[in-house]
């Protein structure tokens, strides 16, 4: 009679080990960057309120706790049984909903570089990427055994720093390979493939992130992306859940909030710096996104620190 652990028991054991490693290498509250390139760890001993931020392309895996991410009204809830992957840069909100001192929220983020995916595709040739998927640049899916195993091996490298330079790139490639076989693998592949529509939309997204303070002319953005205006608008919204103008607005407002909070700019100066010509329009749109006018919002944030 075999005493071998079942696959489910093995996965549960791996999740516990992952939680222990994250807790060890991220002993303080907040984010800990690691010696593995592109890998960051996160800990919170209490639920965290809704936070606005810019999510870069990354794989996010939780070892303990629960979190809810929102993209333009869409809700993406995940836990230790599921992972979240962002395939393009997106303005989102995040909220840690389950955490305590005894069982803190423990998670990791592994940055995704489309160029790395492109190199993998070029080296491996056709990898049988599934077709279909929603086409949205944010996705939650069940964490399967092969992906969990690869991620755990990557985090284990923190225990043997001398192996990181040689082994981390190999494990990263395996993780990307696993993601290419996920339900949203086609979008990941297309973003990394030059001249695909998804690749051109990603170019538009990155252009907006670098030029959010400039006036937005859709025809110029379409020309830069080598797409028709109608195709740009349709595909951009399919990937980001918002129009280019809505996307730019969120970038501007988030950056203005950061400037006021971290660099002590006054309301008018922050609005002008991110591209608003009308202080009243800036305050109106700021209130719509963050729920309060700038002065009240900043006072609340500062009192909470």
All domains in the chain, ordered by first residue? 7-190 (2.60.120), 195-305 (1.10.10.60)
**Side-chain-facing half-sphere of 51: CA atoms under 13 Å:** 13
Q: What is the pLDDT of residue 130?
A: 66
Element (H, E) at 103: none
Q: What is the pLDDT of residue 133?
A: 65
CA distances from 139 to 134, 182, 183, 234, 257 (A): 9, 10, 9, 19, 27
| Pairwise CA distance, residues 16 & 31, whole Å | 20
User: Residue 99's Cα: distance from chain center in Å?
Assistant: 20
DSSP designation for 85:
E
Residue count of the chain: 305
Reading the block at residue 44, the tokens are 């919170």
Rounded to whole angstroms, the Cα distance separating 26 from 292 reads 34
**What is the DSSP-derived secondary structure letter of residue 84?**
E
pLDDT computed for residue 6 by the predictor? 77
d(CA 43, CA 107): 7
3-class DSSP assignment, residue 216: coil
Check: CB of residue 78 under 8 Å from CB of residue 140.
yes
> What pLDDT sits at residue 256?
97
pLDDT by 10-residue block (mean), the chain, 305 residues = 70 95 98 97 96 95 97 95 96 97 98 91 70 83 96 98 97 94 88 90 96 95 96 96 97 96 94 95 96 94 79
Q: Would you tell me how many other CB atoms lie within 10 Å of the CB of residue 78?
A: 21
What's the CA gap between 129 and 143, in Å, rounded? Answer: 18
How many Cβ atoms are within 10 Å of 128's Cβ, its own excluded? Answer: 7
């Amino acid at each position: 009679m075999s005493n071998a652990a079942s696959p489910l028991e093995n996965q549960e054991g791996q999740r516990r080990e992952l939680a222990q490693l994250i807790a060890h290498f991220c002993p303080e509250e907040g984010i800990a960057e690691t010696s593995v390139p592109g890998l960051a760890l996160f800990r919170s001993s209490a639920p965290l309120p809704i936070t606005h931020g810019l999510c870069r392309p990354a794989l996010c895996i939780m070892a303990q706790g629960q979190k809810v991410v929102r993209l333009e009204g869409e809700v993406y809830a995940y836990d230790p049984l599921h992972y979240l992957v962002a395939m393009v840069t997106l303005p989102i909100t995040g909220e840690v909903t389950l955490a305590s001192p005894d069982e803190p929220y423990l998670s990791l983020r592994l940055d995704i570089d489309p160029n790395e995916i492109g190199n993998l595709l070029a080296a491996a040739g056709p990898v049988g990427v599934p077709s279909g998927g929603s086409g949205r640049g944010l996705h939650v899916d069940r964490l399967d055994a092969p992906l969990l195993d690869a991620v755990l091996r990557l985090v284990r490298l923190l225990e043997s720093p001398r192996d990181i330079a040689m082994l981390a790139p190999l494990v990263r490639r395996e993780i990307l390979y696993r993601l290419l076989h996920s339900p949203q693998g086609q979008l990941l592949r297309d973003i990394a493939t030059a001249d695909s529509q998804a690749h051109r939309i990603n170019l538009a997204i990155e252009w907006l992130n670098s030029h959010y303070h400039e006036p937005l002319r859709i025809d110029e953005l379409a020309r830069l992306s080598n797409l028709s205006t109608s195709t740009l608008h349709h595909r951009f919204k399919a990937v980001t859940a918002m129009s280019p103008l809505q996307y730019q607005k969120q970038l501007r407002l988030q950056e203005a909030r950061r400037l006021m909070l971290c660099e002590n700019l006054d309301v008018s100066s922050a609005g002008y710096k991110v591209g608003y010509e009308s202080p009243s329009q800036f305050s109106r749109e700021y209130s719509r996104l963050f729920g309060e006018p700038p002065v009240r919002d900043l006072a609340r944030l500062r009192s909470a620190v």
